[in-house]
Amino acid sequence: MVDSKNKWKAWLYLSPALVLLGIFTVYPIFNTVQLAFLNGYNIWEAMDGKMFTIGIDNFVKVLNYPGFLTTLKTTILLCVLTVPVSTMLALLIAVALNSIKALNRLLQTIFFLPYVTNSIAIGMVFATMFNMIGLDPATGIPQTAGIINNFLSIFGVGPVNWINPGSTYEANMFVMCVYIVWNALPFKILVLLGGLQSVNKQYYDAAKVDGTSRARVFWRITVPLLSPMISYVLITGFIGGFKEYSSVVGVFGEGMGPTGDKELQTMVGLIYDSLGEVGTGEGFASAAAMILFVIILAVTILNLKVSNKKVHY
Residue ranges binding other proteins (CB under 8 A): 200, 202-203, 205-206, 208-213, 216, 220-221, 224-225, 227, 312
Burial 108-131 (b: 16+ CB within 10 A, else e): beebbebeeeebeebbeebbebbb
The residue (of 72 and 192) whose beta carbon lies closer to other proteins is 192
The residue (of 159 and 195) whose beta carbon lies closer to other proteins is 195
CB 188, min distance to other proteins, A: 21
The residue (of 190 and 221) whose beta carbon lies closer to other proteins is 221
CB 304, min distance to other proteins, A: 18
The residue (of 228 and 279) whose beta carbon lies closer to other proteins is 228
The residue (of 154 and 215) whose beta carbon lies closer to other proteins is 215
The residue (of 9 and 220) whose beta carbon lies closer to other proteins is 220
Phi-psi region of 256 (alpha: psi -120 to 50; beta: other; left: phi over 0): left
CB 130, min distance to other proteins, A: 42
- Give the integer Cα–Cα distance in Å for 282 and 60: 14
Alpha carbon distance, N-terminus to C-terminus of the chain: 28
Nearest of 308, 313, 300 to residue 228 by alpha carbon: 313
- Give the integer Cα–Cα distance in Å for 89 and 92: 5
Phi, psi for residue 62 in degrees, rounded to 5: -65, -50
Burial 70-85 (b: 16+ CB within 10 A, else e): ebbebbbbbbebbbeb
CB 120, min distance to other proteins, A: 42
CB 197, min distance to other proteins, A: 17
The residue (of 119 and 212) whose beta carbon lies closer to other proteins is 212
CB 228, min distance to other proteins, A: 11
Report CA-CA distances (Å) from 172 to 13, 62, 177, 207, 305: 50, 25, 9, 45, 33
Rounded to the nearest 10°, the torsion over CA 8, 9, 12, 13 is -150
- Give the integer Cα–Cα distance in Å for 230 and 236: 10
- Say if residues 229 and 188 touch (Cβ distance below 8 Å): no
CB 212, min distance to other proteins, A: 5
The residue (of 221 and 239) whose beta carbon lies closer to other proteins is 221
CB 218, min distance to other proteins, A: 14
- Say if residues 189 and 95 touch (Cβ distance below 8 Å): no
